[in-house]
Amino acid sequence: MKITVLDGYGMNPGDLSWDEMSKLGDVTVYDRTSPTELMERVKDSDILLTNKVILNDDNLRALPNLKYIGVLATGYNVVDVKTANELGIVVTNIPAYSTDSVAQMVVAHLLNITQRVGYYADENRKGRWSSNPDFCYWDTPLTELAGKTMGIIGLGNTGSATANIARAFGMNVKAFTSKDQADLPEGVKKASLDEIFSSADVVSLHCPLTDSTKHIINAERLRQMKPSAIIINTGRGPLVNEQDLADALNSGTIYAAGVDVLSSEPPKADNPLLSAKNCFITPHIAWATKEARQRLMDIAVSNLRAFLDGSPVNKV
């Protein structure tokens, strides 16, 4: 069984092992695969593993040996699933492997914005505290989270984990979700989007990207928010209209944003959020703790083993 990993570097830059995967077939791992390299690399493959490499209708129809595609992520929009189903190609994904890591990144952004630990550490390396006339100094707002309101849009795995952490900080939690109030965790109130945007001190995005959620953060919604409010996006880049958010930050319509995902990755140099006031951007690493990546590897192997045993799991 010929197994080809198209872009393995993102999941495993060298600190994990492919050994368990290699027990299942003849494995070739490419760190990255460009569109021009794709077909030559996969022409004889029975099994493909991909994270960001796109497998479209034309690709799939040109691969008569292909039996299985394992997407090394939760989202599977990189694969034309309709064509795969038509051709009898099984497609699987990796659900819920990074829940705790993503929730942790939400809090990392939130604490960075409210406490600015990195900023003050850098200032002190420059000698600012040593030359200060007083025993302390600060020149950014410092905010206590207890008693503030966290608005969560989408209460799936990561939204629920984020809600639990927010409650541990003493925050009030409101959620926009399709779930009934009776099914929500204790201390979480079901709320409309209008209520969340108008009342929340922090809005954290955890919803899937659909036609109805694309640009859910836009100029109209941002104008509903408090000038002290914070946006956190660890979900999908296109949930945010980036120009509208940049304008809101630069004008003081809202205070700050913590962003781990952008609409185009890597971003274009002229992305307005890169230079926006009080916008703190990490390079799509919420999922990338070693623990989460090891779970990703383990589930990828388990998915493939189940397929080879004739009982595929996590099919999409």
Known catalytic residue: 223? no
Instruction: Give Cα 274 distance to the centre of its chain.
Output: 18
Quick count: other Cβ atoms within 10 Å of Cβ 282?
A: 16
Find the catalytic residue in 86, 220, 265, 291: 265
Sign, CA torsion 222/224/226/227: positive
Known catalytic residue: 41? no
Find the catalytic residue in 41, 167, 215, 284: 284
Contacting residues for 222 by C-beta, under 8 A, at least 6 apart: 244, 245, 248, 253, 254
List, in sequence order, every beta strand (DSSP E) within 234-289.
256-259, 279-281
Task: Find out whether 15 and 288 touch, Cβ atoms under 8 Å.
Answer: no
Known catalytic residue: 284? yes
Task: Output b/e per residue, 26-58; b: 16+ Cβ within 10 A.
Answer: ebebbeebeeeebeebbeebbbbbbbebebeee
Find the catalytic residue in 109, 236, 293, 295: 236
Quick count: other Cβ atoms within 10 Å of Cβ 122?
A: 11
Residue 26's H or E segment, with its range, is: strand 26-29
Task: Indicate which residues carry an active-site annotation.
Answer: 236, 265, 284
